[in-house]
Amino acid sequence: MKIRQTIIASVLAILAIPLLAQIDLALDRYAGTYVDPWYGTLIVTGKANELNVNFATTPGMTGRLKHWQYDTFVTEFDDESIEPAYLTFAIGAAGEVTGITAKAVSPIADFSFDYHHLNFVPADKKE
């Protein structure tokens, strides 16, 4: 059993290493207000070297976005009890953000952090 746990831990450690992939847009181009029909509003604010995130429907669910790879960022929430998530931005042909999907970083995250159900679109494109 210990060998199995060691192998699993090793694989998870390897998977946690990001590729050395460039970001597609300037950080401030990811900023905006996004909505998901089930969850509500997600606000991304940014400037030259930092992005911040606010899951506005959930008080206190705020933090920073750290670049992971390509157009995927990892949340670093101010409240460390909130499960980190990958936020992946979809980029359209004209270089605009067309949506955001989410996924828990940990494969054993508590089921209550059902990030995988979220599908945010820019608020100004909401139908």
For the chain, list the domains and their CATH numbers.
20-125 (2.40.128.50)
Asked if residue 11 has pLDDT above 60, the reply is no
Q: How confident is the model over 61-80, as a mean pLDDT?
A: 94
Asked if residue 8 has pLDDT above 90, the reply is no
Asked if residue 19 has pLDDT above 60, the reply is no
> What per-residue confidence (pLDDT) applies to 110?
60
CB 63 within 8 A of CB 77: yes
> What per-residue confidence (pLDDT) applies to 65?
96
Interatomic CA distance for residues 18 and 86, integer angstroms: 12
CB 68 within 8 A of CB 18: yes
Measured in degrees and rounded to the nearest 5, phi and psi for residue 124 equal -75, -5
Q: How confident is the model over 119-124, as a mean pLDDT?
A: 95
Residue 45 vs residue 22, higher pLDDT: 45
Residue 115 vs residue 11, higher pLDDT: 115
> What per-residue confidence (pLDDT) applies to 40?
96
DSSP 40: E
Among 12-21, 26-35, 58-67, 76-85, which is the least confidently predicted range? 12-21
